[in-house]
Structure 1
Amino acid sequence: MAKMKGFSRFTWILIVIGFMLAVQYNTIQSPAERDTRDVWEIRKELVEEKQYHSELLTRIRETEDLASQYEESTLDRPERLVEESIAQLRRELGLEAYSGPGFLIHVEPSAEAIAFGQSISPVSPDLLVRFVNELNRFQAKAIEIDGKRLVFPSAIRDINGRTTINTLPIRSAPFDIRVGTDSLDVAERVINQIQASGLADDFYIDNLQLTIEEPVGTIKMAPYDQPINVTHLSEWKEGEN
């Protein structure tokens, strides 16, 4: 009887192992989703990821340098580095005017739409959100759309049938998009990524066309000029515990 129980257990173990091998073989032979990209597409994506990795390492080094400056700061003016850090954060958050490398994008009605008398609808919030997300993914440093500076709490949405940024309506085309970057090289790369991404085609479907100017050493943007609501923070006053 004990021998029969041992044989039965051994049989079930063999069945489970056989089932696992069959599943593994089927997974290897018939993947759920086949990668149809060619070698050049994979190489291009790898180059982009390496560029993002390099930029991340640069930001890490900048943070480490800032930490070293804190440690080496003299006792008579330790607040100087704090003030510089606050100023840098304000610039990065868009609370200060931007002046630096970047480029200009003109959003205009397409020539075909004008020639055939087609109506030009305002750019949709969904398309604009996708465009801004791609710019951020491409490492844009500052963005301004139709004179409205985008910052971390900025919202792009439809209000009463009109596309708004920070609750302010944007004009129908033509209008401009300003993009700031860390350098002219980065600006050139962002332009190439926009052109390769197919975003221009999405605008063209809506009877709009993008005209991207050459990058320049200095492009200017106004600061974000609306109040920022901070829900979970309150101002600390000296003397409070």
Structure 2
Amino acid sequence: MKKRIAGRFTVILFVIGFMSATQYNTVNTDDSRDYRDTWEIRQQLSREKQVHSELLSEIGLLDDTLAKYSDKATQDPQAVLKETVEDLRRSAGLSQITGPGIELEVSPSLEAVALGSEITEIPPDLLIRLVNEINRFDGIELAIAGERVINTTAIRDINGYTTVNTDPISTPPLTIAITSKSMEEARKLYSYLSASTIHEDFYIDDLTIAISEPQEQLTLPAFDEKIQMGYLEAGEGE
């Protein structure tokens, strides 16, 4: 009799243990569903659409160049070549450029001046953050304290000095000039930077940013240094 009761008790415990294990596995099963909210998905979609738009713009520019060659090459090939070279120089930042834009005046904060705090250069990481904020807009060209910023420009600390294109920039106040594709884009950039949290980051370093009203004509200097092409190699027979 005791053996029968013990056997039944063992079976009951086995069933309870099996059910507990099944429930534990069910609760701990990985759920691979995407829990991102709608806003995150919209942001990702917006970034993908922006990349697609940039690619279409580049394709359009290449099509225009090919059309110029097709229409004018037989008439004046040298003129077409010169025009193409000038377009490339302008795109690379090697030519002076004039267009609609805004100016940023970076100055010591009033509190720093009143307290007699030492005014130092803008930290490189802070300046890079500002440039990244500006480059959120397409077709932007800029110059920092007279130094034209291009794709190969490096902003870094060299021997304790903040440099742009290896040239030390002055301590504030200094001017950052920005041009855009149109007055409409210049106004959008003005509104965006006016509301940006980058002002708070600069204020922590005792600096303020004053933004000028959009201007119809703003001139940026050409990049006047040698472009480093150490990673480019000519193939055999070239």
Cα distance in 1, alignment partners of residues 139 and 120 from structure 2: 27
Deviations, residues 41-95 of structure 1 (Å, cap 9, x unaligned): 9879977876776565444333322222222334132232222111011112111
> Contact between 1:140 and 1:190, CA under 8 Å: does it hold in 2?
no
Deviations, residues 177-217 of structure 1 (Å, cap 9, x unaligned): 00011111111112222233311211111110000001111
Q: 1:137 corresponds to which residue?
A: 136
Counterparts of residues 1-241 of structure 1 (less than 5 Å): 22-24=29-31, 27-28=32-33, 31=35, 35=37, 57-231=56-230, 232-233=232-233
Name the TM-score, length of structure 2 as normaliser. 0.75
Q: Name whichever of 205-214 and 84-93 sits farther off.
A: 84-93
The structure-2 alpha-carbon separation of the partners of 1:46 and 1:230, relative to structure 1 and needing over 3 Å to count, comes to closer
Cα distance in 2, alignment partners of residues 194 and 44 from structure 1: 19
Which protein is bigger by CA-based radius of gyration? 2
The structure-2 alpha-carbon separation of the partners of 1:46 and 1:102, relative to structure 1 and needing over 3 Å to count, comes to farther
Cα distance in 1, alignment partners of residues 50 and 216 from structure 2: 21
Letter in structure 1 aligned against 2:66: A
Cα distance in 1, alignment partners of residues 47 and 106 from structure 2: 26
Cα distance in 1, alignment partners of residues 177 and 117 from structure 2: 27
Letter in structure 2 aligned against 1:22: T
> Contact between 2:96 and 2:222, CA under 8 Å: does it hold in 1?
yes
Letter in structure 2 aligned against 1:190: L
Shift of 1:144: 0.6
Cα distance in 2, alignment partners of residues 48 and 22 from structure 1: 33
Q: 1:4 corresponds to which residue?
A: none
SS of corresponding position for 1:228: coil
The structure-2 alpha-carbon separation of the partners of 1:188 and 1:145, relative to structure 1 and needing over 3 Å to count, comes to same
Give unpaired runs (5+ residues) of structure 1: 1-14, 235-239
Letter in structure 2 aligned against 1:84: E
Q: Name whichever of 106-115 and 170-179 sits farther off.
A: 106-115
> Contact between 1:96 and 1:224, CA under 8 Å: does it hold in 2?
yes
Counting matched residue pairs gives 214
> Contact between 1:149 and 1:222, CA under 8 Å: does it hold in 2?
yes
> Contact between 1:121 and 1:206, CA under 8 Å: does it hold in 2?
no
The alignment-based identity, stated in percent, is: 37
Cα distance in 2, alignment partners of residues 140 and 212 from structure 1: 19
Q: Name whichever of 163-172 and 64-73 sits farther off.
A: 64-73
SS of corresponding position for 1:63: helix
Shift of 1:150: 1.2
Shift of 1:173: 0.7
Cα distance in 2, alignment partners of residues 91 and 121 from structure 1: 34
